[in-house]
Amino acid sequence: MLPFIEIRLAKQEDHDDLADVFNSQSETITEAYGEYFIAELIAAQNESNKALVAQVKDKAVGLMGLTKEVDLKLLHKCFDLDAFDNLLKADFMDAVRARRDLLRAQQKRVEDNLTIQKEITRRQETQKCNIVAQRMALQEHLVQNADDIFKQIEDIVNNEEAYKLLDKENTTGDYFDKWLNDFEIANPTGEYFLDPQNADDSLVCNIQTKLEFLLRTLELFGLPKDYINGEGHHLNWDEKARAAAGRSKKKGKAGAKKQGKLAKLQADLAAAKDALLKKPTYFDLEPFKKALKSFITINAESRSNLRTQFATHQDILVNCFRDEHDENSFKRCIDIKEIAPRLQQQGLPIDSHMSEYMGSLLLCFGDVDHEEGYGERVPPETEEQRKAKMILEMKRSDRAKGSDPKGEKKLQKQLTVEELDKKKKEDEDWKREEEKLLQQMKPSKPMKVLLNLTSIHDLLNAIDRMATYDRLLVELNMTEFNGFDDEDRALEAIGKPFLQQLNLLPELEEHRQYSN
């Protein structure tokens, strides 16, 4: 059993008893605070500081010092007081904890956004090196300079003497290089990609010169391959030469009648004949002009409109991909150039220019996946077939207007034998001519051709890829177009809104009410 203990205020005469107690426990306190620290503690009592002793049988056996002047900082430094609200009021500590949480969350948000911004920068730097982004950047450059380019082409073409002196070297130096002077191919150069943390598996490098890149891109829009070395130049030179020969012949006849110079007429005809047989050797800018027009016309706005149509009519898009058994297929079964005609057959309204170059668009700006394969196709209608068809329609129309079945019988009764024979001969001649025109109109036999076969899956991926790079140019301020509202509404309507891969997180609120 414990003895009865009395608690009272300490007195000076308690010093000796208490000193014996402290010294028996440890000499550390005496060494730290001095031999008379107990007496000093008892003597220092006032309203803010008190000393209590425990007394057993008139002997002091314990001491407790109390004070109102608590050094909270020292206590916080020496002890973990969080469980006791750090000896502060509970409401105040709730506010402190809430503030700490907010500051930690804000710091975490800053760190997260720095990480996200690094990823966004890495994505942008990587994607702008992609071949699709480079083609779009090239198109934007050419669109901005299109008026000046076409004016220069028109001026040199109209200057016949200067045009005939044009060759590969001066065309490259005086025109192509100048048109591309301010354009730069984006490649992974500089210190950014020297950092291993910025490496990306999808990073590519374009080793073509600016001119090579321009020509390879325009080949997707009809520019003949190896155009820079003369391929595809003066394609219709023979027809132009025949027309020139005809004009020269008429002019020569008129001059012969007026001047009576038969020798001059013969010389003109001989010169026209020589021109017909000799193909021009000067550099032809017409194929480049035609391909360039097609390339810059399929701009960001027209691509967005096409994607809007695809999103709105996905059922039509899917129904275009049918195999040889006329069944819907997810295999690569359709040639890229056949997509537009099939869409038109399904009722999708596509303008003629987009229809003609949709395959080029998908290859150039969608980098659509495909595989080569052979298939039988009917060759397109030739100029001779179109001409024969037109002549036949005109002649049939003329004969229909001039014929009257009832009047024909009356007329035959009134005609003489000679007139009937003449009419019979004319009918026979018409039948022979009609048969000849029908033969000329006859469609060509199907022949095996090399196809670029793609699938609905490849097409949808190409559309998404195209949208990604179109919006990348907007992010990088490389295009003036930013009208994706219709496209976004169409995508939201089918439950597939366009989502950026990464977006910065919003900032957290700066002020919060911690307590009422």
Give a yes or no: residue 1 inside a domain: no
Question: Are 79 and 101 members of one domain?
Answer: yes
Residue-wise pLDDT for 215-248, tens only, equals 999 999 999 999 999 998 888 776 655 555 555 5
**Residues 37 and 111 both lie in one domain:** no
Chain-centre distance for alpha carbon 447? 37
In tens, the pLDDT along 153-170 reads 999 999 989 998 999 999
Residues 161 and 200 in one domain: yes
Same domain, 166 and 112: no
Return the SS3 of 124: helix
Position 379 in a domain: no
Share of the chain above pLDDT 70, in %: 88
* pLDDT tens digits along 16-40: 888 888 888 877 777 777 888 889 8
- Is 337 contained in some domain? yes
- φ, ψ for residue 49 (rounded to 5)? -130, 130
Specify if 108 maps to a domain.
yes
For residues 459 and 361, membership in a common domain is answered with yes
The answer to whether residue 258 is domain-embedded is no
Do 361 and 496 fall within a single domain?
A: no
For residue 28, what is the DSSP state?
H
Residues 86, 201, single domain; the answer is no
**Which range marks the domain in which residue 137 is found?**
128-227
Q: In the prediction, which pLDDT does 263 show?
A: 72
Question: What single-letter DSSP state applies at residue 451?
Answer: E
Amino acid at 89: K
pLDDT in tens, 407-434: 555 555 566 778 778 878 888 888 888 8
Domain identity same for 49 and 143: no
Q: Which stretch of DSSP H or E encloses residue 452?
A: strand 447-454
Q: What is the pLDDT of residues 60-112, one digit of tens each?
A: 999 999 998 888 888 888 999 888 888 888 888 888 888 888 889 999 999 99
DSSP annotation of 501 reads: S
126-130: average pLDDT: 86
Residue at 170 is within a domain: yes
98 and 46 in one domain? Answer: no
Of 227, 255, 289, which closes a domain?
A: 227
> How many domains does the chain fold into?
4
Q: Are residues 24 and 100 in the same domain?
A: no
Across 269-273, 290-294, 350-354, 431-435, least confident range: 269-273
d(CA 59, CA 5): 10
Q: Residues of the chain with pLDDT > 90: what percent?
A: 37
- Residue 141 and residue 58 in one domain: no
Residue 470 and residue 127 in contact, taking contact as beta carbons nearer than 8 Å: no
Number of H-type helices and E-type strands within the chain: 23, 6
**Residues 50 and 95 occupy one common structural domain:** no
Domain end (from 227, 255, 271): 227
Q: How far apart are CA 357 and CA 361, in angstroms?
A: 6
On whether residue 174 sits in a domain, the answer given is yes
